[in-house]
Amino acid sequence: MSVRSWGNYPKVEHAAVIPLAWRHEALPKVGGTMLPSGLARSYGDSCLNEGGTLLATRGLDRLIAFDRTTGVLRCEAGMTLGQILALAAPVGWFLPVVPGTSYVTVGGAIANDVHGKNHHLEGTFGAHVRRFELARSDGTRIECAPPTEPALFRATIAGLGLTGLVTWAELRLKRIDSAMFDVETTRMDDLGHFFALTEASAGYEYNVAWVDALAKGKDLGRGLFIRARHSSVAIHPMPEAGARLAMPFDLPAATLNRHSVSLFNALYRARGSRGWQHTHEPYSKYLFPLDGIAHWNRMYGKPGFVQHQSVVPRTDAPLRVRAILEAVAEAGDASFLTVLKVFGDREGAGLLSFPRPGVTLALDLPMRGAATLELLERLDAIVRDAGGAIYPAKDARMSPETFRASFPRWEELERHRDPAFSSSFWRRVTR
Protein backbone atom coordinates (compact mmCIF):
# COMPACT_ATOMS: atom_id res chain seq x y z
CA MET A 1 0.00 0.00 0.00
CA SER A 2 1.47 3.32 -1.07
CA VAL A 3 1.54 6.24 1.38
CA ARG A 4 3.17 9.54 0.43
CA SER A 5 5.02 11.80 2.80
CA TRP A 6 4.62 15.53 2.21
CA GLY A 7 7.70 15.75 -0.03
CA ASN A 8 6.52 12.79 -2.13
CA TYR A 9 10.08 11.42 -1.92
CA PRO A 10 10.94 8.60 -1.46
CA LYS A 11 8.03 6.51 -2.74
CA VAL A 12 7.67 3.28 -0.76
CA GLU A 13 5.12 0.51 -0.29
CA HIS A 14 3.69 -0.64 3.06
CA ALA A 15 2.33 -4.04 4.01
CA ALA A 16 -0.75 -2.48 5.60
CA VAL A 17 -2.30 0.68 6.98
CA ILE A 18 -4.48 -0.07 10.01
CA PRO A 19 -6.91 2.65 11.15
CA LEU A 20 -7.19 3.08 14.93
CA ALA A 21 -10.52 4.24 16.34
CA TRP A 22 -10.40 3.69 20.12
CA ARG A 23 -7.53 4.60 22.41
CA HIS A 24 -8.37 1.83 24.91
CA GLU A 25 -7.99 -0.98 22.34
CA ALA A 26 -4.87 -3.15 22.33
CA LEU A 27 -2.35 -2.58 19.58
CA PRO A 28 -2.96 -4.82 16.56
CA LYS A 29 -0.76 -7.85 16.03
CA VAL A 30 1.29 -7.44 12.87
CA GLY A 31 3.87 -9.58 11.15
CA GLY A 32 6.65 -7.01 10.83
CA THR A 33 7.26 -3.60 12.33
CA MET A 34 4.75 -0.82 12.88
CA LEU A 35 4.82 2.98 13.10
CA PRO A 36 2.18 5.53 14.20
CA SER A 37 1.01 7.72 11.31
CA GLY A 38 -0.93 10.97 11.60
CA LEU A 39 -1.27 13.31 8.63
CA ALA A 40 2.09 12.35 7.05
CA ARG A 41 3.25 15.97 7.06
CA SER A 42 6.85 14.95 7.66
CA TYR A 43 8.66 15.71 4.41
CA GLY A 44 10.80 12.61 4.02
CA ASP A 45 10.76 9.06 5.34
CA SER A 46 10.49 9.52 9.12
CA CYS A 47 6.72 8.94 8.73
CA LEU A 48 7.15 5.94 6.42
CA ASN A 49 7.76 2.28 7.23
CA GLU A 50 8.60 0.50 3.98
CA GLY A 51 7.40 -3.11 3.99
CA GLY A 52 5.87 -2.67 7.45
CA THR A 53 2.60 -1.41 8.93
CA LEU A 54 1.36 2.11 9.60
CA LEU A 55 -1.03 2.67 12.52
CA ALA A 56 -3.31 5.46 11.26
CA THR A 57 -4.16 7.64 14.27
CA ARG A 58 -6.54 10.18 12.75
CA GLY A 59 -9.48 8.29 14.24
CA LEU A 60 -8.13 9.15 17.70
CA ASP A 61 -9.24 12.77 17.52
CA ARG A 62 -11.39 13.28 20.60
CA LEU A 63 -11.13 16.06 23.13
CA ILE A 64 -10.96 14.47 26.60
CA ALA A 65 -10.89 17.51 28.87
CA PHE A 66 -10.28 21.27 28.70
CA ASP A 67 -10.05 23.42 31.83
CA ARG A 68 -10.78 26.97 30.69
CA THR A 69 -9.53 28.43 33.97
CA THR A 70 -6.05 26.85 33.83
CA GLY A 71 -5.62 26.21 30.08
CA VAL A 72 -4.80 22.53 30.61
CA LEU A 73 -6.13 20.44 27.71
CA ARG A 74 -6.16 16.66 27.35
CA CYS A 75 -6.92 15.10 23.96
CA GLU A 76 -6.31 12.01 21.88
CA ALA A 77 -3.11 11.95 19.86
CA GLY A 78 -4.84 12.15 16.47
CA MET A 79 -6.38 15.56 17.19
CA THR A 80 -4.77 18.24 15.04
CA LEU A 81 -3.22 21.50 16.19
CA GLY A 82 -5.75 23.28 13.97
CA GLN A 83 -8.63 21.60 15.80
CA ILE A 84 -7.21 22.63 19.17
CA LEU A 85 -6.78 26.25 18.09
CA ALA A 86 -10.30 26.32 16.65
CA LEU A 87 -11.79 25.54 20.05
CA ALA A 88 -9.24 27.27 22.32
CA ALA A 89 -8.46 30.58 20.57
CA PRO A 90 -12.02 31.98 20.71
CA VAL A 91 -12.04 31.53 24.50
CA GLY A 92 -8.63 33.11 25.07
CA TRP A 93 -6.17 30.20 24.96
CA PHE A 94 -3.49 29.32 22.41
CA LEU A 95 -0.94 26.61 21.77
CA PRO A 96 2.41 27.99 22.99
CA VAL A 97 4.27 26.43 20.03
CA VAL A 98 3.04 25.67 16.50
CA PRO A 99 4.99 24.81 13.33
CA GLY A 100 4.29 26.30 9.90
CA THR A 101 1.12 24.27 9.36
CA SER A 102 -1.93 23.51 11.49
CA TYR A 103 -2.29 20.12 9.78
CA VAL A 104 -0.19 18.27 12.33
CA THR A 105 -1.53 15.83 14.89
CA VAL A 106 -0.62 16.11 18.57
CA GLY A 107 1.16 12.77 18.27
CA GLY A 108 3.17 14.06 15.32
CA ALA A 109 4.04 17.28 17.14
CA ILE A 110 5.36 15.24 20.08
CA ALA A 111 7.21 12.73 17.90
CA ASN A 112 9.12 15.52 16.15
CA ASP A 113 9.19 18.04 19.02
CA VAL A 114 8.14 20.70 16.52
CA HIS A 115 9.16 24.33 16.85
CA GLY A 116 7.80 27.63 15.63
CA LYS A 117 8.67 31.25 14.99
CA ASN A 118 8.81 31.93 18.75
CA HIS A 119 11.46 29.44 19.85
CA HIS A 120 13.46 32.23 21.50
CA LEU A 121 10.63 32.65 24.02
CA GLU A 122 8.68 29.38 24.18
CA GLY A 123 11.13 26.64 23.20
CA THR A 124 9.69 23.54 21.56
CA PHE A 125 6.28 21.85 21.60
CA GLY A 126 7.49 19.20 24.04
CA ALA A 127 8.24 21.83 26.67
CA HIS A 128 4.48 22.33 27.04
CA VAL A 129 3.47 18.67 27.26
CA ARG A 130 2.56 17.71 30.84
CA ARG A 131 1.99 13.99 30.37
CA PHE A 132 0.87 11.35 27.87
CA GLU A 133 -0.01 7.68 27.68
CA LEU A 134 2.22 5.30 25.76
CA ALA A 135 0.88 1.96 24.48
CA ARG A 136 3.67 -0.58 23.95
CA SER A 137 3.67 -3.69 21.80
CA ASP A 138 3.98 -5.94 24.89
CA GLY A 139 0.51 -4.81 25.98
CA THR A 140 1.67 -2.39 28.69
CA ARG A 141 0.40 1.16 28.98
CA ILE A 142 2.62 3.70 30.66
CA GLU A 143 1.55 7.17 31.77
CA CYS A 144 4.66 9.25 31.17
CA ALA A 145 5.40 12.54 32.91
CA PRO A 146 8.70 14.15 33.92
CA PRO A 147 8.36 13.26 37.64
CA THR A 148 7.36 9.61 37.13
CA GLU A 149 8.94 8.40 33.88
CA PRO A 150 11.58 11.01 33.08
CA ALA A 151 13.71 8.89 30.74
CA LEU A 152 10.85 7.47 28.65
CA PHE A 153 9.12 10.86 28.60
CA ARG A 154 12.26 12.53 27.23
CA ALA A 155 12.90 9.72 24.75
CA THR A 156 9.33 9.92 23.37
CA ILE A 157 9.51 13.71 22.86
CA ALA A 158 11.29 13.92 19.47
CA GLY A 159 11.38 10.11 19.52
CA LEU A 160 10.04 9.88 15.94
CA GLY A 161 7.18 7.62 17.03
CA LEU A 162 9.56 4.79 17.89
CA THR A 163 8.91 4.32 21.63
CA GLY A 164 5.31 3.16 21.20
CA LEU A 165 1.91 4.66 20.38
CA VAL A 166 0.97 7.91 22.16
CA THR A 167 -2.78 7.49 22.74
CA TRP A 168 -3.50 10.80 24.52
CA ALA A 169 -1.57 13.81 25.73
CA GLU A 170 -2.08 16.64 28.18
CA LEU A 171 -0.92 20.10 27.10
CA ARG A 172 -0.52 23.44 28.81
CA LEU A 173 -1.92 26.32 26.71
CA LYS A 174 -1.13 30.01 27.12
CA ARG A 175 -3.44 32.98 27.63
CA ILE A 176 -4.13 35.39 24.78
CA ASP A 177 -6.31 38.49 24.50
CA SER A 178 -7.16 38.05 20.83
CA ALA A 179 -7.15 35.57 17.98
CA MET A 180 -5.56 38.28 15.85
CA PHE A 181 -1.89 39.12 15.32
CA ASP A 182 -0.17 42.51 15.00
CA VAL A 183 2.31 41.92 12.17
CA GLU A 184 5.21 44.10 10.97
CA THR A 185 7.06 43.45 7.68
CA THR A 186 10.12 45.08 6.14
CA ARG A 187 12.59 44.40 3.36
CA MET A 188 15.84 42.71 4.27
CA ASP A 189 18.86 43.85 2.23
CA ASP A 190 21.29 41.03 2.92
CA LEU A 191 22.40 38.49 5.50
CA GLY A 192 23.95 41.10 7.78
CA HIS A 193 20.65 42.97 7.77
CA PHE A 194 18.87 39.78 8.88
CA PHE A 195 21.02 39.48 11.98
CA ALA A 196 20.59 43.18 12.78
CA LEU A 197 16.80 42.93 12.42
CA THR A 198 16.71 39.79 14.57
CA GLU A 199 18.57 41.55 17.36
CA ALA A 200 16.32 44.58 17.11
CA SER A 201 13.22 42.33 17.24
CA ALA A 202 14.19 40.24 20.27
CA GLY A 203 11.21 41.57 22.21
CA TYR A 204 8.68 40.35 19.63
CA GLU A 205 6.93 37.01 20.20
CA TYR A 206 7.38 35.73 16.64
CA ASN A 207 10.25 36.38 14.20
CA VAL A 208 10.91 34.83 10.80
CA ALA A 209 12.57 35.79 7.52
CA TRP A 210 11.90 34.71 3.96
CA VAL A 211 15.06 34.69 1.81
CA ASP A 212 15.50 35.02 -1.95
CA ALA A 213 17.78 32.00 -2.40
CA LEU A 214 18.67 33.00 -5.97
CA ALA A 215 20.32 36.26 -4.90
CA LYS A 216 24.12 36.40 -5.09
CA GLY A 217 26.99 38.72 -4.24
CA LYS A 218 26.05 41.82 -2.27
CA ASP A 219 22.37 40.83 -2.43
CA LEU A 220 22.90 37.40 -0.89
CA GLY A 221 20.44 36.93 1.96
CA ARG A 222 17.96 39.57 0.81
CA GLY A 223 14.27 38.99 1.45
CA LEU A 224 11.56 39.96 3.94
CA PHE A 225 11.71 40.06 7.73
CA ILE A 226 8.37 39.50 9.46
CA ARG A 227 7.77 39.92 13.21
CA ALA A 228 4.56 39.70 15.16
CA ARG A 229 2.78 39.71 18.50
CA HIS A 230 -0.56 38.46 19.68
CA SER A 231 -2.87 41.45 19.47
CA SER A 232 -3.82 43.06 22.75
CA VAL A 233 -7.26 44.16 21.59
CA ALA A 234 -10.34 42.24 22.66
CA ILE A 235 -10.89 38.77 21.24
CA HIS A 236 -12.34 38.88 17.76
CA PRO A 237 -14.72 36.38 16.18
CA MET A 238 -12.98 33.24 14.96
CA PRO A 239 -10.88 34.11 11.88
CA GLU A 240 -11.39 32.21 8.67
CA ALA A 241 -9.30 29.06 8.62
CA GLY A 242 -8.70 26.17 6.25
CA ALA A 243 -7.77 25.97 2.60
CA ARG A 244 -9.30 28.58 0.30
CA LEU A 245 -7.53 27.32 -2.83
CA ALA A 246 -6.37 23.90 -3.96
CA MET A 247 -3.73 22.43 -6.25
CA PRO A 248 -5.90 19.87 -8.09
CA PHE A 249 -3.11 17.77 -9.62
CA ASP A 250 0.67 17.39 -9.82
CA LEU A 251 2.15 20.17 -11.96
CA PRO A 252 4.73 19.29 -14.61
CA ALA A 253 8.10 18.82 -12.92
CA ALA A 254 9.66 21.68 -14.89
CA THR A 255 7.12 24.26 -13.66
CA LEU A 256 9.35 25.33 -10.79
CA ASN A 257 12.59 26.40 -12.41
CA ARG A 258 15.11 29.17 -12.01
CA HIS A 259 13.04 31.59 -14.09
CA SER A 260 9.64 30.98 -12.47
CA VAL A 261 11.10 31.10 -8.96
CA SER A 262 13.05 34.27 -9.82
CA LEU A 263 9.80 35.92 -10.92
CA PHE A 264 8.01 34.78 -7.76
CA ASN A 265 10.85 36.04 -5.57
CA ALA A 266 10.76 39.48 -7.18
CA LEU A 267 7.00 39.76 -6.75
CA TYR A 268 7.04 38.46 -3.18
CA ARG A 269 9.85 40.77 -2.09
CA ALA A 270 7.95 43.70 -3.60
CA ARG A 271 5.32 43.15 -0.88
CA GLY A 272 7.72 44.72 1.59
CA SER A 273 9.03 48.27 1.86
CA ARG A 274 12.05 49.95 3.40
CA GLY A 275 10.12 50.83 6.53
CA TRP A 276 7.92 48.63 8.69
CA GLN A 277 4.49 47.85 7.27
CA HIS A 278 1.89 47.22 9.98
CA THR A 279 -1.03 44.82 9.48
CA HIS A 280 -3.64 43.18 11.70
CA GLU A 281 -4.06 39.55 10.66
CA PRO A 282 -5.86 36.38 11.75
CA TYR A 283 -3.45 33.96 13.39
CA SER A 284 -3.99 31.46 10.58
CA LYS A 285 -2.78 33.94 7.94
CA TYR A 286 0.44 34.76 9.79
CA LEU A 287 1.30 31.36 11.25
CA PHE A 288 0.03 29.03 8.51
CA PRO A 289 0.14 30.94 5.19
CA LEU A 290 0.44 27.81 3.03
CA ASP A 291 -2.54 26.11 4.69
CA GLY A 292 -4.66 28.36 2.49
CA ILE A 293 -3.61 26.26 -0.54
CA ALA A 294 -4.60 22.60 -0.22
CA HIS A 295 -2.03 20.15 -1.62
CA TRP A 296 0.50 22.91 -2.35
CA ASN A 297 3.18 20.21 -2.46
CA ARG A 298 1.82 19.18 -5.88
CA MET A 299 3.47 22.19 -7.50
CA TYR A 300 6.73 20.21 -7.41
CA GLY A 301 5.27 17.58 -9.72
CA LYS A 302 5.48 13.82 -9.45
CA PRO A 303 9.23 13.68 -8.61
CA GLY A 304 8.44 15.56 -5.42
CA PHE A 305 10.81 17.73 -3.44
CA VAL A 306 13.24 17.58 -0.54
CA GLN A 307 13.70 20.04 2.25
CA HIS A 308 17.07 20.75 3.83
CA GLN A 309 16.58 22.29 7.26
CA SER A 310 19.74 22.78 9.25
CA VAL A 311 20.83 24.54 12.40
CA VAL A 312 24.35 25.86 12.96
CA PRO A 313 25.81 27.40 16.15
CA ARG A 314 25.60 31.17 16.41
CA THR A 315 29.36 31.61 16.74
CA ASP A 316 30.05 31.52 13.03
CA ALA A 317 26.49 31.33 11.76
CA PRO A 318 26.86 34.26 9.31
CA LEU A 319 29.77 32.45 7.65
CA ARG A 320 28.02 29.06 7.52
CA VAL A 321 24.64 30.35 6.34
CA ARG A 322 26.41 32.37 3.66
CA ALA A 323 28.27 29.24 2.52
CA ILE A 324 24.98 27.29 2.24
CA LEU A 325 23.20 30.05 0.31
CA GLU A 326 26.17 30.49 -2.01
CA ALA A 327 26.27 26.75 -2.74
CA VAL A 328 22.56 26.73 -3.63
CA ALA A 329 22.78 29.88 -5.75
CA GLU A 330 25.85 28.62 -7.62
CA ALA A 331 24.14 25.30 -8.30
CA GLY A 332 21.34 27.24 -9.96
CA ASP A 333 18.78 25.27 -7.99
CA ALA A 334 15.55 27.10 -7.31
CA SER A 335 14.48 26.97 -3.67
CA PHE A 336 10.90 28.19 -3.72
CA LEU A 337 10.56 28.52 0.05
CA THR A 338 13.63 29.58 1.98
CA VAL A 339 13.13 30.42 5.64
CA LEU A 340 15.69 31.75 8.13
CA LYS A 341 15.22 32.01 11.90
CA VAL A 342 17.29 32.27 15.06
CA PHE A 343 16.67 29.70 17.78
CA GLY A 344 16.78 30.84 21.39
CA ASP A 345 18.94 29.45 24.17
CA ARG A 346 16.41 26.78 25.18
CA GLU A 347 17.48 23.21 24.63
CA GLY A 348 14.88 20.86 23.17
CA ALA A 349 12.58 18.94 25.47
CA GLY A 350 13.45 15.59 23.91
CA LEU A 351 16.46 13.36 23.64
CA LEU A 352 16.68 13.94 19.87
CA SER A 353 15.18 17.43 19.65
CA PHE A 354 16.42 19.31 16.62
CA PRO A 355 16.22 22.92 17.92
CA ARG A 356 19.27 24.13 19.83
CA PRO A 357 20.92 27.53 20.26
CA GLY A 358 21.81 28.66 16.75
CA VAL A 359 20.50 29.76 13.38
CA THR A 360 18.22 27.56 11.29
CA LEU A 361 17.81 27.69 7.52
CA ALA A 362 15.17 25.71 5.58
CA LEU A 363 15.33 25.22 1.80
CA ASP A 364 12.78 23.46 -0.41
CA LEU A 365 14.36 21.97 -3.51
CA PRO A 366 12.69 20.12 -6.40
CA MET A 367 13.90 16.53 -6.55
CA ARG A 368 16.07 16.26 -9.67
CA GLY A 369 17.90 13.05 -8.87
CA ALA A 370 21.66 12.77 -8.46
CA ALA A 371 22.36 16.50 -8.91
CA THR A 372 20.02 17.39 -6.03
CA LEU A 373 21.43 14.68 -3.79
CA GLU A 374 25.01 15.82 -4.49
CA LEU A 375 24.11 19.42 -3.64
CA LEU A 376 22.46 18.34 -0.39
CA GLU A 377 25.52 16.33 0.60
CA ARG A 378 27.64 19.46 0.11
CA LEU A 379 25.26 21.38 2.36
CA ASP A 380 25.43 18.58 4.96
CA ALA A 381 29.23 18.86 5.00
CA ILE A 382 29.01 22.58 5.80
CA VAL A 383 26.61 21.84 8.66
CA ARG A 384 28.71 18.95 10.01
CA ASP A 385 31.87 21.08 9.97
CA ALA A 386 30.05 23.76 11.94
CA GLY A 387 28.88 21.26 14.59
CA GLY A 388 25.26 21.71 13.54
CA ALA A 389 22.39 19.33 12.78
CA ILE A 390 19.86 18.33 10.10
CA TYR A 391 16.13 18.09 11.00
CA PRO A 392 14.90 14.45 10.78
CA ALA A 393 11.27 15.50 10.20
CA LYS A 394 12.30 17.17 6.94
CA ASP A 395 14.92 14.69 5.81
CA ALA A 396 14.78 11.95 3.18
CA ARG A 397 18.44 11.16 2.51
CA MET A 398 21.01 12.27 5.09
CA SER A 399 23.79 9.77 5.69
CA PRO A 400 24.29 7.79 8.92
CA GLU A 401 27.46 9.84 9.43
CA THR A 402 25.53 13.11 9.31
CA PHE A 403 22.76 11.77 11.55
CA ARG A 404 25.17 10.55 14.22
CA ALA A 405 27.05 13.84 14.16
CA SER A 406 23.75 15.71 14.48
CA PHE A 407 22.38 13.53 17.29
CA PRO A 408 25.22 11.92 19.25
CA ARG A 409 22.73 10.56 21.85
CA TRP A 410 20.78 8.52 19.27
CA GLU A 411 21.77 5.23 20.92
CA GLU A 412 19.86 6.26 24.06
CA LEU A 413 16.70 6.47 21.95
CA GLU A 414 17.50 3.06 20.49
CA ARG A 415 17.48 1.63 24.03
CA HIS A 416 13.98 3.06 24.62
CA ARG A 417 12.64 2.08 21.19
CA ASP A 418 9.78 -0.41 21.25
CA PRO A 419 11.26 -3.44 19.42
CA ALA A 420 8.12 -3.76 17.28
CA PHE A 421 8.33 -0.12 16.12
CA SER A 422 10.55 1.13 13.32
CA SER A 423 10.62 3.47 10.33
CA SER A 424 12.31 3.80 6.98
CA PHE A 425 14.23 6.77 8.35
CA TRP A 426 15.49 4.94 11.45
CA ARG A 427 16.69 1.92 9.52
CA ARG A 428 18.44 4.19 7.01
CA VAL A 429 20.38 6.35 9.47
CA THR A 430 21.27 3.66 12.04
CA ARG A 431 22.41 0.90 9.73
For residues 208 and 260, is the Cβ–Cβ distance under 8 A? no
- Residue 3 has a pLDDT of 85
For residues 65 and 169, is the Cβ–Cβ distance under 8 A? no
- Residue 412 has a pLDDT of 98
Closest by CA position to 113, among listed 92, 93, 132? 132
pTM given for the model? 0.94
For residues 238 and 89, is the Cβ–Cβ distance under 8 A? yes
Instruction: Answer whether residue 203 shows pLDDT above 60.
Output: yes
Rounded Cα distance, 323 and 415, in Å: 37
Q: Percent of the chain at pLDDT above 90?
A: 81
- Residue 302 has a pLDDT of 87
- Residue 70 has a pLDDT of 98
pLDDT digits (tens, 9 = 90+) for 167-194: 999 999 999 999 999 999 999 999 999 9
What domains are there in the chain, each with its CATH number?
Answer: 180-406 (3.30.70.2520)
Query: If pLDDT is split at 50, 70 and 90, which confidence band does 352 have?
Result: very high
pLDDT digits (tens, 9 = 90+) for 219-246: 899 999 999 999 998 765 555 555 566 6
pLDDT digits (tens, 9 = 90+) for 46-69: 999 999 999 999 999 999 999 999
pLDDT digits (tens, 9 = 90+) for 107-141: 999 999 999 999 999 999 999 999 999 999 999 99
Could you say which DSSP state residue 416 is in?
H
Q: Are strands 53-56 and 34-37 parallel, antiparallel or unpaired?
A: parallel
Could you say which DSSP state residue 219 is in?
G
Average the pLDDT over 296-305 and give the result. 86
- Residue 299 has a pLDDT of 81
